[in-house]
Amino acid sequence: MTDQTIRTEVVIAGGGITGLTLAFRLQQLGIPFILLEKDHSLGGVIQTHTKNGFIYESGPNTGVLSTTEAVQLFESAACPIIEANSEAANRWILKNGEWQSLPSGLIGGIKTPLFSLSDKIRLLGEPFRKKGNKANETLSELVIRRMGRSFLDYAVDPFISGIYAGDPKQLVTEYAMPKLYRLEQDYGSFIKGALAKARQPKSELEKKVTKAVFSTKGGLQQLITALATKLPEASIKTAYELISVSKSANGFICKAFHQGKEITFQSRQLVTTSGGSSLKDLFDFVPEEAFLPILNLRYAKVVQVALGYQQWQGKALNAFGGLIPEKENRALLGILFPSSIFDGRAPKQGALLSVFMGGIKRPDLFELSDDMIMQVVLSEVNDLFKLKDSSPELLEIFRYKQAIPQYDITSKARLEAIANLENQFPGLLLAGNIRDGIGMADRIKQGFMLADHVQKYQEK
């Protein structure tokens, strides 16, 4: 039995960064909304923790200031960012058991042992190669074709492990790395495209897109708090689990469960920002087969381990972190050094590490017990950083069964299915990481895009 009915213009299902950005923009535009979040707190996977003098994240550790929308959000929310320390520009790649710096310039590129001499020479011809025309070309195929095998093995493969926890042999460039794809398609070359884009005139707002790595003072959850405090309290409903969606003559009827009560929300528009797997059980007016292309989206399972040392006695961590190629046959995907990236994340003589394992290539590691994960992580870290007789004062394990969506060969059908459903049911917007990228800046950009769609629909 329904205990209460609430009417609004827009229902937003999901209180992660996408939903909060959308809510913030709708508030600015004067469009009434209700945001439903099933958990007791907002932010989704963005959660900051403090313990024993350490400030650490579960979920993303950093963001990249890569879109104008991200710039606008931080400025509008009055949430100042802190940029990464200069030493974080150094990125490590493991090769033959030793950390090597990823080169950032011509001289470094010539000297680096990461890539073969033949591939270094081959790279000189990259601007003159034909652009590809293969449908659903994978990242692996693209990189071998344009740059060579060693660039795949010791640059792209570890990079994809760090971003997607994925496999470049499965990810499709057009969907997983659309900017890289467009460089070749629009300019015929990565190098020519990068040079051409660098010469393009920029607006004052675009000049603020510095591509800098950022966080906020005290951790990324400060952004969530800043957004939440600027939204009407009555419009934010936490611990509300959306259980069904029906179609009405004027929009949608959403039923949610809260503290033992079923509450109905009626709205002209509905925006979902949750993962694809939850959609098929919500909509009673959509045939299940219409959701199948969306349900085919595969997610990487990831284990994240926060390690904190009061006294660091290993290799100096003067870098952003280290990524580990598949060819190195290690149990880890990579390790970030938050205490080197940002000040104040660990005691002065200490260190904070964020370790990642599992992913598409090693889902078996996700199934290990906490004790086994602890043993594997400490063994690897001790070996990689030459630690002896040193135990962390902080060790926290976080598991994400649906950590990162994989934009693979199923992506085109998924995007077409989303477009078909939105066209068939005006006012419905299916969003979240099922489309439009996985990074924090991507999620913020999507929130702005959704707000534009909502506003146009309201004006009809």
DSSP character string of 270-316: EEE-S-GGGTTTTBTTS-HHHHHHHHT-EEEEEEEEEEEESS--SS-
**What DSSP designation does 40 have?**
S
User: How many CA atoms does the CB half-sphere of 423 hold within 13 Å?
Assistant: 7
Residues 193 and 235 in one domain: no
Specify if 339 maps to a domain. no
Tell me the three state secondary structure of residue 323.
Answer: strand
Specify if 313 maps to a domain. no
Domain CATH code at residue 266: 3.50.50.60
Tell me the three state secondary structure of residue 398.
Answer: strand
Q: Which amino acid is at 201?
A: P
Q: Which amino acid is at 459?
A: E
Tell me what percent of the residues of the chain surpass a pLDDT of 70. Answer: 99
Q: How far is CA 333 from CA 101, 118, 202, 365, in A?
A: 17, 27, 36, 11
Structure tokens at 163: 């971003």
| Mean pLDDT to the nearest integer, 407-433 | 97
| Mean pLDDT to the nearest integer, 200-205 | 95
Domain CATH code at residue 141: 1.10.3110.10
Residues 187 and 258 in one domain: no
Note the pLDDT of residue 3: 60
Residue-wise pLDDT for 238-296, tens only, equals: 999 999 999 999 999 999 999 999 999 999 999 999 877 778 889 989 988 999 999 99
Residues 414 and 292 in one domain: yes
Residues 259 and 112 in one domain: no
Residues 276 and 417 in one domain: yes
Q: Across-strand partners of 321?
A: 91, 336
Listed residues 206, 233, 253: the one ending a domain: 206
Residues 200 and 245 in one domain: no
* Dihedral angle sign, alpha carbons of residues 68, 23, 19, 356: positive
pTM: 0.95
| Mean pLDDT to the nearest integer, 312-322 | 96
Specify if 399 maps to a domain. no
* Phi, psi of 236, rounded to the nearest 5 degrees: -110, 120
Mean pLDDT, the chain, rounded, equals 95
Specify if 246 maps to a domain. yes
Residues 416 and 288 in one domain: yes
Specify if 389 maps to a domain. no
Residues 267 and 187 in one domain: no
Note the pLDDT of residue 109: 86
| Mean pLDDT to the nearest integer, 154-164 | 96
**What DSSP designation does 329 have?**
-
Residue-wise pLDDT for 333-356, tens only, equals: 999 999 999 999 999 999 999 999
Q: Across-strand partners of 352?
A: 308
**Contact between 44 and 17 (Cβ < 8 Å):** yes
Residues 182 and 272 in one domain: no
Specify if 181 maps to a domain. yes
**Contact between 221 and 48 (Cβ < 8 Å):** yes
Boundaries of domain holding 194 = 103-206
Give the DSSP H/E element, type plus range, for residue 458. Answer: helix 440-458
**What DSSP designation does 330 have?**
-
Residues 161 and 253 in one domain: no
Give the DSSP H/E element, type plus range, for residue 445. Answer: helix 440-458
Residues 199 and 107 in one domain: yes
Residues 116 and 198 in one domain: yes
Specify if 198 maps to a domain. yes
Listed residues 171, 206, 241: the one ending a domain: 206
| Mean pLDDT to the nearest integer, 150-159 | 97
261-272 vs 428-430, strand pairing mode? parallel
Note the pLDDT of residue 1: 40
User: How far apart are alpha carbons 99 and 105 in whole angstroms?
Assistant: 18
Structure tokens at 171: 């990810």
Number of domains in the chain: 2
Listed residues 206, 230, 260: the one ending a domain: 206
Is the pLDDT at 2 greater than 60? The verdict is no
CB neighbour list of residue 452: distance below 8 Å, 6 or more residues apart: none
Specify if 355 maps to a domain. no
Is the pLDDT at 56 greater than 90? The verdict is yes
User: How far apart are alpha carbons 115 and 196 in whole angstroms?
Assistant: 26
Angle between helices 190-199 and 178-187 (to 10 degrees): 90
